[in-house]
Amino acid sequence: MNLTQPEVQLWAQQFENLNWSSDTKEVRVYPSAIYLASLASSMPGVGAQNFHAAPSGAFTGEVSLLQLQSIGVHSVLIGHSERRSIFQENDAIIAEKMQAALQQQMPVILCCGEALSVRETAGHISFVQEQLSSALAGIASEQTPFLTIAYEPIWAIGTGLNANAVQITEMHAAIRSLLLELFGNAGQDIPILYGGSVNAANAQEVFACPEVGGALVGGASLDPAIFYQLWENL
């Protein structure tokens, strides 16, 4: 929930002046909902931070997948830590959203991650794997090309704490192991992003970790120049 309309226009101008073309990398932008229509009409890869699983109806304040697709939205986030913690989206809601999005062949970034209290009890691996198992129940291997996973260590976002390479590698390996268990060989092709306060200072170390296929970038994306530095390091 950042940037006003004039600031978004400036951000978009700066973003579009940078060279994002690549045969091996993809960039997506997930702005506030009120800017989706204007940005989707002028740049590729625009996604929504949230949506409602129902196709239409009396859900005041919500937007549907069909509405998003009608304005050119490319993909959606599901299960972001703030949606889970602040807006009380439980596993059932997240699983319902997953089913709805993949039925519409809408690319998804599915977020997962643990709080500090979970990590301190050494239950972080099983906690994240259970989050993913719940969200991915009933998903077929043929649907995995629309799926990306993003690991968010909640304890390392805006807290001053940082996940180190060993911690990142451990969790991404555990996520890959689960994806292979659920989807067989198709699980190897599902990208796993890291989303724990990635910035210009730690990007190289993060991207060097095995199974890290990109980043879910928060505050660092508000400056297109810094965002581009992360792109170049990937």
pLDDT (tens digit per residue) in 156-165 = 887 777 799 9
Q: Does the pTM exceed 0.85? A: yes
pLDDT of 137 higher than 90: yes
Write out pLDDT tens, residues 91-134: 999 999 999 999 999 999 999 999 999 999 999 999 999 999 99
Is residue 52 annotated as part of the catalytic site, yes or no?
no
Is residue 205 annotated as part of the catalytic site, yes or no?
no
pLDDT of 183 higher than 80: yes
Catalytic residue among 52, 114, 124, 152: 152
Residue 111 has a pLDDT of 98
Write out pLDDT tens, residues 45-72: 999 999 999 999 999 999 999 999 999 9
Q: Based on the number of CB atoms within 10 Å of its own CB, is 99 exposed (0-12), middle (13-18) or buried (19 or more)?
A: middle
Residue 54 has a pLDDT of 98
**Arithmetic mean of pLDDT, 6-28:** 96
Q: Are 128 and 149 in contact (CB under 8 A)?
A: no
Please name which of 56, 52, 59, 37 lies closest in space to residue 83, comparing C-alpha atoms.
52
Cα–Cα distance list, 170 to 2, 77, 166 (Å): 32, 24, 6
**Arithmetic mean of pLDDT, 76-81:** 97
Name the pLDDT band for 181 (thresholds 50, 70, 90).
very high
Name the pLDDT band for 184 (thresholds 50, 70, 90).
very high
The 3-state DSSP class for residue 45 equals coil
Catalytic residue among 52, 80, 124, 172: 80
